[in-house]
Amino acid sequence: MTDAPRIAVLDYGSGNVHSAVKALQAAGATVQLSADTEVVLHADGLVVPGVGSFGTVMRALRARRGDELIGRRLAGGRAVLGICVGMQILFEHGTESAETDEGMGEWPGDVQRLRAPVLPHIGWNTVAAAAESRLFRGIEQERFYFVHSYAATQWTLDVMPPFPEPAVTWATHGEKFVAAVENGPLTAVQFHPEKSGAAGIALLRNWIQSLPRTQR
């Protein structure tokens, strides 16, 4: 019998991590909440949760060297999944505070306040899954749980052959925004799969099953 995939949830002081741990376990993974370098770098997958503001999350990540650990995994082609603000900080900038905050810059663009009649965007919403998405396979018509006022509303990454185009999934609340990205080893979702019931568990299972396994 094959051992369950090992997932590290990055422990850098973000809230809501225990529900993420439980959801990943329900999806079939062995999960460890940790900021230990060896655990984070050698897990089959790393999950970066995020609750709060863009700038606060970036400062907390830097204080624990979380940004460095994420970068090292990606440089080695190792899987990372960002959730909510854990997705937003992958872009270049966030405009949530009076001064623009610098993100990790894995993707070009800014995270901006949504132009919507009601904010925050709280509750269930559908997504327009990319045709080539593996993350949403079998759950393309499901709804997912969102809690946010800011998002990336444009996707401007230029990818040159032979690298494949990322699978970009969109949702709408007032205006279109990026709901998920699948870009090589880097995957991220703006919603909370851990709060999205059976659909969220199925999405996490799709991600977990896509991971290359490290040797034990």
Q: Quick check: helix, strand or coil at residue 98?
A: coil
Helices 66-75 and 54-63 meet at what angle, rounded to 10?
Answer: 80
Q: Which of 18, 68, 84, 96 is catalytic?
A: 84
- Whether 192 sits among the annotated catalytic residues: the reply is yes
Structure token digits, residue 75:
């440089």
Is 5 in contact with 215 (CB distance < 8 Å)?
Answer: no
Query: Catalytic: which of 96, 106, 182, 194?
Result: 194
Q: Is 18 a catalytic residue?
A: no
CB 190 within 8 Å of CB 171:
yes
Reference 82, options 204, 189, 157; nearest CA is 189
45-48 and 6-10 as β-strands: parallel, antiparallel, unpaired?
A: parallel
- On whether the CB atoms of residues 101 and 58 are closer than 8 A, the answer is yes
Q: Which of 121, 148, 173, 192 is catalytic?
A: 192
Q: Within 102-196, where are the H helices?
A: none
Q: Are 168 and 155 in contact (CB under 8 A)?
A: yes
Beta-sheet pairing, 30-34 with 79-83: unpaired
133: left (phi over 0), alpha (psi -120 to 50) or beta: beta
Can 84 be counted among the known catalytic residues?
yes
Active site (catalytic) residues? 84, 192, 194
